[in-house]
Amino acid sequence: MDEILAAARSVDWRALGDRALCDACLGRLFGRLGHGLTNEERGRAVREIAVDSEGPCWVCGGLTGRYDDLAALAARKLEPWEFETFRIGSKIDFEMAAREESLWAELALTSPEALKAEVNREVGKRVSDLVHKEAALDHPDVVAVLDTGFDHVDLQVNPLYLRGRYRKLSRGIPQTRWPCRRCRGKGCDRCGGTGKMYPTSVEEVVASEVMRESGGTAHAMHGMGREDVDARMLGRGRPFIVEIKEPRKRRIDLEAAVGRINASGIVEVDQLVPATGAGVVTLKEDRAAKTYRVLLRMAPPVDEAKLKATLPVLVGEPIAQRTPGRVVHRRADTTRARRLLSAEVVGIDGDRAEIRVTAEAGTYIKEWVHGDGGRTRPSLAERLGAACEVLELDVLDVHDGG
Ligand SMILES: [Zn+2]
Ligand SMILES: [Zn+2]
């Protein structure tokens, strides 16, 4: 407190003129001095030093006396939502902020605090007492933004993020909901009114079971890469984060949700555990090698000895892959360099062979097998001197280190 009193004595208070200040606005002029005090307490201590007039506060017009009301307003708005952490934000009238800043300059102050910071903190403390939840600056579940000019509260309900690894046991299912190309989701003859290219997706199976309990307005699925629609995802599964927008509930029975997902028979998850939006960014930096099972047909048939001799030669050799013909209409036509990390023959039966291949993240495996009309070089087909057709493709592992 001595520090604050000394600072107050060094101010030339004549510059204040006949403008009145409430305790909080007076104390806030020294808001960054002294610990464990409210600005109101600072203001009461400073008042006998400062020359001050009677009347409504020139800076806030009485706003600092309304924190209890604002907190009650925010608490009411938060009531329907389940959350553990929250943050209070505020919109302060522009002229109010300008008045306080002009005062800082006129009184040559060095350690003032802004009204906005005080509103957020003081209302936050009161809301915390009312709702028995913690205020948190980082990753709060909900943010209540007070518009102090209109006594209005806007809620921003942050998504619920859950991570796990999924296995896709059936072919013909995309990872994410795929809107109908023709109607773009409205529903038409082509999609039978569903608005979708495929009846379901990994995203829909997982998210619908979570939303059944949590509620929410929408969902999104973030995968560490994605497999083709016609490829299964087996083994330990692929890491993902499912995002539920504006969930009503956050404390849900995750084990039960996992059980229901796994009962779908088409998608399985190992677990669902809390994640963050930052986790999505990490997931998207996919650098994980993948292991595939490929069942292919060779024309003319190639004998086992030749196949077994060819595969090891291809391992480690740089593969130049132009954007595949099947996706070049929606992606830039570039060339990427990738490598195989391992390749082995699992079995061969006439013109069919099953191989197991591990490749760097981002390798187009089907194209590496058939060559994509020369867009991928070298390819297995090129080296075997036979046309190769991929009959089945499965992802057996995502080597993410997890
Ligand atoms: Zn005031
Ligand atoms: Zn359609």
Dist. CA 13 → ligand 1 center (Å)? 17
Dist. CA 381 → ligand 2 center (Å)? 37
In this predicted model, what pLDDT tens digit does every residue of 271-330 receive, in sequence order? 999 999 999 999 998 889 999 999 999 999 999 999 999 999 999 899 999 999 988 888
Measured distance CA(155)–CA(140) in Å, rounded: 12
Q: Give me 389's structure tokens.
A: 């057709």
In this predicted model, what pLDDT tens digit does every residue of 139-197 receive, in sequence order? 899 999 999 989 999 999 999 999 999 999 999 999 999 999 999 989 999 999 999 99
Beta-bridge mates of residue 4? none
Model pLDDT, residue 50: 85
Dist. CA 91 → ligand 1 center (Å)? 16
CB 277 within 8 A of CB 159: yes
Catalytic site includes residue 228 = yes
Same fold, 2-157 and 289-399: no
- The mean pLDDT of 9-13, rounded to a whole number, is 94
Percent of the chain clearing pLDDT 90 (strictly above)? 91
Model pLDDT, residue 4: 93
CB 135 within 8 A of CB 194: no
Model pLDDT, residue 71: 97
CATH match for 160-284 among 3.40.1180.10, 3.40.190.10, 3.30.1330.60, 3.30.70.2510: 3.30.70.2510
Mention the CATH class of domain 2-157.
Answer: alpha beta
In this predicted model, what pLDDT tens digit does every residue of 251-277 receive, in sequence order? 999 999 999 999 999 999 999 999 999
Arithmetic mean of pLDDT over the chain: 95
Q: Please choose, from the candidates 18, 60, 230, 83, the residue with its C-alpha nearest in 3D space to the C-alpha of residue 148.
A: 60
State the sign of the Cα–Cα–Cα–Cα dihedral 57, 61, 64, 66.
positive
Measured distance CA(297)–CA(40) in Å, rounded: 81
Longest dimension (CA), the chain: 101
Model pLDDT, residue 310: 95
**Whose structure tokens read 């809390």?**
274
Dist. CA 98 → ligand 1 center (Å)? 13
Which ligand sits nearest to residue 198's alpha carbon?
Answer: 2
Residue 137 pLDDT class (50, 70, 90 cuts): confident
- Which of 2, 129, 151, 228 is labelled catalytic? 228
Dist. CA 177 → ligand 2 center (Å)? 13
Return the axis-axis angle of helices 94-106 and 115-131, rounded to nearest 10°.
120
**CATH number listed for the domain at residues 289-399:** 3.30.70.3190
For the chain, the structural domain boundaries read 2-157, 160-284, 289-399
pTM of the model: 0.86
- The mean pLDDT of 13-42, rounded to a whole number, is 94
Dist. CA 17 → ligand 1 center (Å)? 16
Dist. CA 198 → ligand 2 center (Å)? 10
- Count of C-beta atoms within a 10 Å radius of residue 187: 14
Model pLDDT, residue 402: 64
